Structure 1
Amino acid sequence: MKSILLIYGLVYLLSVSPTYMVDNDKICWQENVILTVNDFQSLYPPVPEYVFKAQAWSKCSITVIRRSKKDGNDFCDVRVYFIKSKSWFEISKTDSRINNEVLAHEQLHFDIEELVGRKIRKCADDYYKINTKYSLELNSQIDCIFQERRALHSLYDEETDHGAIENKQIKWKEIIKSELDNLNDYKSTPKDCAM
């Protein structure tokens, strides 16, 4: 009887888990999923001196996995995650407005990760329209996108002063939304999160 209840409980938990939750530590990017303070679970900033420069740190991950279809042709799975245990947030106890501004800034970092994921999906899709097998050429193209990723995050932080310059933050949000919309055919789906 206990084992039946245990199995039923496990099935119930799996059936009610949100599709964007990969496991307890990762959130898969989805259109209507907004980060909250509770998603930042690291107790300390990644670098001790970083605490004096910012109020939050987001750790995101993009994985690109080469797979083969039944017909022998290759394809790429691309997954975009926010990693809770490696993300840190210093909550302002005096001004909730600051917390909201910091969350909006960190959310856009996560959205930038999704933009990069979409660029990789498009790149792989374009590549596989004329090729059936993975090659160093595609790997090189993906590496270039990852280099752009680092530069984009740095430029975003620099131009917005880590979200402190409100009009720049708004401008960046509009730019990233526009770019995400342009690559909407390549967005993360619940299927990507389930893999």
Structure 2
Amino acid sequence: MEKLILTSLLFVWMAQMPNFLSINSTTSFSNGDPEIIWSTARRLNWDDFKAQPNGQTLTGAVTHSTIKVMPEANKWTGRVTVVVQAVFACNKSWAREKAKESDYLLNHEQRHFDIAELYARKIRQALAEERITIKNYKEIRAAIIQPLFREYVHFDEQYDHQTVHGLNKETQSAWNNKIDAQLEDMLLYLND
């Protein structure tokens, strides 16, 4: 159905902390938490959609997922490690009660989250080829991360447009296969 995307990357810069910074990048949140980090071990379920439905639209469900990019700096070496995560915001995603009867619709919404993971992997791949430092991080962000994020937004919008928000079952099936194949191609950059 309808898809909301954060229009800007979430950059968490914590260089003011002493020595080495670390953010846990592999913990998947449970149903009670506000975010779920994409994982092969966990698919979305309707209980993850915590927000109240929008009364102004006929949409059955809205998935709010994005890509978080979090640089971690080592002040002593000047090196930056970038943690990239696809996240689903439970408190911004919603589904109408009637929509929750549809596994088909849940799959459509899951695919939005899968697209976020696909582009998180593409960002990880591009960054793996770079030597990132405190001095060059802003340039790398502008040259690599931001263009891939814009590509992600476009790809996700194209998905909804071509599937008619999941109503075109034949096209939805083709997109399911396309997304699965691309995730498989990028398996090396899985951050599970």
Normalised-by-shorter TM-score class: 0.7 to 0.9
Residue number in structure 2 paired with 1:86: 92
The CA RMSD over aligned residues, in Å, is 2.1
Output aligned runs, 1:69-84, within 5 Å.
Answer: 69=74, 71-84=77-90
Q: Where in structure 2 are the equivalents of 1:34-183 lying within 5 Å?
A: 34-45=43-54, 48-49=55-56, 51-52=57-58, 54-69=59-74, 71-92=77-98, 96=101, 99-128=102-131, 132-133=133-134, 134-140=136-142, 141-183=144-186
Distance 1:24 1:73 in 2: 32
Contact 2:80 2:137 in 1 (8 A): no
How far 1:44 sits from its partner (Å)?
Answer: 2.4
Q: Distance in 1 between the 2:183 and 2:189 partners?
A: 9
Note if contact 1:75-1:124 (Cα within 8 Å) is conserved in structure 2: no
What is the CA-CA distance between 1:60 and the residue it aligns to? 1.1
- Say whether the 8 Å CA contact 2:72–2:81 is kept in structure 1: yes
Unaligned 5+ runs, structure 2: 1-25
The whole-number CA distance in structure 2 between the counterparts of 1:188 and 1:89 is: 28
Contact 1:114/1:188, CA 8 A, preserved across alignment? no
Q: Which residue of 1 aligns with 2:22?
A: none
Distance 2:173 2:158 in 1: 15
Structure 2 CA distance for aligned equivalents of residues 184 and 152 of structure 1: 19
As a proportion of its length, which structure holds more helix?
A: 1
Unaligned runs of 5+ in 1: 1-17, 190-195
- TM-score, normalized by length of structure 1? 0.76
Counterpart AA for 2:28: Y
Deviation at 1:170, TM superposition (A): 1.0
What letter is aligned with 2:65? C
- State the structure with more CA Rg: 1
Q: Which runs of 4+ in 1 moved over 6 A?
A: none
How far apart are residue 61 of structure 1 and its match? 2.7
Cα shift at 1:19: 4.2
Structure 2 counterpart of 1:24, which letter?
Answer: D
**Aligned counterpart, 2:4:** none
Q: Give the TM-score of the pair, scaled to structure 2.
A: 0.77
Give the whole-Å Cα distance in 2 for the aligned partners of 1:145 and 1:71.
27
Instruction: Kindly indicate whether the alpha-carbon contact (under 8 Å) linking 1:80 and 1:188 is maintained by their aligned counterparts in 2.
Output: no
* Residues 130-176 of structure 1, C-alpha deviations (whole Å, 9 max, x = no match): x5453333112111011111111111001101111111111111111
How many residues end up aligned between the 2 structures? 163
